[in-house]
Amino acid sequence: MANARTLYDKIWADHLVSEDKDGTALIYIDRHLIHEVTSPQAFEGLRLSGRTARAPEKALAVVDHNIPTIDRSQGISDPESALQVETLAKNCAEFGIEYFDESDKRQGIVHVIGPEQGFTLPGTTIVCGDSHTATHGAFGALAMGIGTSEVEHVLATQTLIQKKEKNMRVTVDGVLPDGVGAKDVILSIIGEIGTAGGTGYVIEYAGTVIRGLSMEGRMTVCNMSIEGGARAGMVAPDETTFEYFRSRPRSPQGADYGQAVDYWKSLCTDDGAAFDTEVRLDAAKLPPVVTWGTSPENVVSVTGSVPDPGTVSDQAKRRAMERALDYMGLKPGTNMSDVEIDRAFIGSCTNGRIEDLRVAAAIASGNRVHERVNALVVPGSGLVKAQAEAEGLDKIFINAGFEWREPGCSMCLAMNDDKLKPGERCASTSNRNFEGRQGYRGRTHLVSPAMAAAAAIAGHFVDIRDWR
């Protein structure tokens, strides 16, 4: 069909302010999320040029990257972090932007609180000075990470200069084996397309497996679109999505809700719409996965072993593998299930929501964290934390020897005190295993919440499908 359009085509068209002959376009931004790390220079830029925020009511700010996850009553001891947090508070007051500070019950990771509040909505354009903004694509929004100059641009103009990307569809059909979840799906996708595979694309995730995922699972998948190099990742909204927004603090109410749902229903890829690239995965074949290297594409089944660079003919790839294995302190051929860990981290905008904590708590229940392992559980937001405590999950974790913390990014990027020591090996539910990501010379293995909890207890990676 000539006029058949993809979901991305539709949202793009509905936000196009202007387009030049060479395709350079101005698109309107409906929602702008702000945090302390990537915003100070943007506000400073506005001040220096005497500009104001065009639509401050379309922005929401929160502190997440820098703050301690232990008792906050004493304030933030690191003076630089404290200054950055204070700066955000001042900037928000000056430019009229609503701000959740560290004592607000709604405070949490920016990508957890946006949906939770109903600030994120289907069919919107959403940006944030943070690459994992892709998370919000789970709701059928066009959600993109931007740099600080673009944060300033959005504040001043409520628009962004862009060119349209190509369309990619990743279809996951079939039935996931027990123990295999959304995190394994997205890590497998990245393993398949590579970390640059999505460069130049917006990905739409489709297929029975994606349809069957809860909103939380879809967020886990979309969150890591950036690890596949894509500008954004999205899932067409459906009943699961509409239900999610029935009672959020900022979602449309009453007649508005009905009208919104009618519009949201139009947000699906038309039959016959063309994708520039199609990727298909068979769910039945997906195992629980673990990363072995320092790139999120370095995935292997938990039943597999560390690969051998000697078998790779491409010189640059071989060298990259050797460098990664050296950094990770791993020998080719080692069974992943023999790899012992020192730390476990359950949290982040990939896996710090209530369902993730429930899965991890079910594994932890009645067990003990291995004596060598230090394990952290960091809820994605204050509301997630409160919900978990209402369900008694905190007690389960604490009784099993996990530490139960205050919400924030924490050891996902280790900007606060939660970090690996040199050489420490961590089973982490976060999204990046780069060198130094979780602490100088720390070693990160990306896994699902179930796999991280099981590894914390066993002291090494275990096939969650065999968990007693």
Partner 1 sequence: MEKFTNLTGVAAPLEIMNVDTDMIIPKQYLKTIARTGLGKGLFSEMRYDDDGNDVPDFVLNKPAYKDARILVAGDNFGCGSSREHAPWALKDFGIRCIISTSFADIFYNNCFKNSVLPIVLPQEDVDKLMDDASRGANAIVSIDLEAQEIRGPDGGVIHFEIDPFRKHCLLNGLDDIGLTLEKADAIDTFEASAQAERPWL
What is the Cα–Cα distance from 199 to 192, expressed in whole angstroms?
14
Residue 165 makes CB contacts below 8 A (sequence gap 6+) with: 8, 200, 201, 202, 230, 231, 232
DSSP of 125-158, one letter per residue?
EEEESSGGGGGGGGGT-EEEE--HHHHHHHHHHS
- Separation CA 228–CA 380 (nearest Å): 23
Q: What does the block give as tokens for 386?
A: 């409160």
Spatial separation of the C-alpha atoms in residues 351 and 226, rounded to whole Å: 15
Q: Is 411 in the site for ligand SF4 (CB under 6 A)?
A: no
What's the min distance (Å) between Cβ of 252 and partner 1?
4
Of 78-86, 275-283, 300-308, 360-368, which segment contacts partner 1 by CB under 8 A?
A: 78-86
247 touches which of ligand SF4, partner 1, none (CB within 5 to 8 A by kind)?
Answer: none
Could you say which of 124, 159, 431, 433 contacts ligand SF4 (CB under 6 A)? 431
Q: Which does 414 bind (CB under 5 to 8 A by kind): partner 1, ligand SF4, none?
A: partner 1
Considering only 283-291, 348-356, 373-381, 413-421, which stretch makes contact with partner 1 by CB under 8 A? 413-421
- Residue 412 as a binder of ligand SF4 (CB under 6 A): the answer is yes
- Interface with ligand SF4, residue 37, by CB under 6 A: no
Residues 364-403, one symbol each (x = binds partner 1 by CB under 8 A, - = not), give ----------------------------------------
Separation between Cα atoms, residue 371 and residue 400, nearest integer Å: 11
Taking CB under 8 A as the binding criterion, the range among 75-83, 167-175, 377-385, 394-402 that sits at the site for partner 1 is 75-83
State the CB neighbour count (10 A cutoff) for residue 412. 28
Q: Work out how close the CB of 348 gets to ligand SF4 at its nearest, in angstroms, rounded to a whole number.
A: 4
DSSP 174: S
Measured in whole angstroms, how far is the alpha carbon of residue 70 from the centre of its chain?
A: 22
* Closest residue by Cα to residue 425 from 344, 342, 346, 345: 342
Looking at 68, 108, 115, 129, which residue binds partner 1 (CB under 8 A)?
Answer: 129
Separation of alpha carbons 120 and 36, rounded Å: 19
Question: Which region among 48-56, 88-96, 105-113, 327-335 touches ligand SF4 (by CB under 6 A)?
Answer: 105-113
Interaction of residue 457 with ligand SF4, rule CB under 6 A: no
Using CB distances below 5 to 8 A depending on partner kind, what does residue 89 bind out of partner 1, ligand SF4, none?
Answer: none
Among 132, 343, 425, 443, binds ligand SF4 (CB under 6 A): 132
Separation of alpha carbons 169 and 385, rounded Å: 35
Task: Find the shortest distance in angstroms from Cβ 377 to partner 1.
Answer: 21
d(CA 339, CA 19): 53
- Please tell me the distance from the alpha carbon of residue 222 to that of residue 141, in angstroms, as a whole number: 11
For β-strands 425-428 and 403-404, DSSP reports them as unpaired
Q: How far is the CB of 429 from partner 1 (least distance, A)?
A: 18
User: Which of the stretches 277-285, 437-445, 447-455, 459-467 binds partner 1 when contact is defined by CB under 8 A?
Assistant: 437-445
Q: Are 45 and 157 in contact (CB under 8 A)?
A: no
Question: Does residue 211 sit in helix, strand or coil?
Answer: helix
Binding characters for ligand SF4, 38-77, by CB under 6 A (x = yes): --------------------------xx------------
At residue 41, what are phi and psi to the nearest 5 degrees? -70, -25
Of 13-21, 107-115, 271-279, 305-313: span binding ligand SF4 (CB under 6 A): 107-115
The C-alpha atoms of residue 97 and residue 408 are separated, in whole angstroms, by 20
Q: To the nearest whole angstrom, how small is the minimum distance from the Cβ of residue 134 to ligand SF4? A: 10
CA distance 218 to 239: 13
User: Does position 232 bind ligand SF4 by CB under 6 A?
Assistant: no
At 359, list the tokens.
Answer: 């899965």
Which does residue 348 touch among ligand SF4, partner 1, none (CB within 5 to 8 A, set by kind)?
ligand SF4
Residues 391-410 that bind ligand SF4 (CB under 6 A): 409
Q: How far is the CB of 90 from ligand SF4 (least distance, A)?
A: 22
Using CB under 6 A, list all residues that contact ligand SF4: 64-65, 109-111, 130, 132, 348-349, 409, 412-413, 430-431
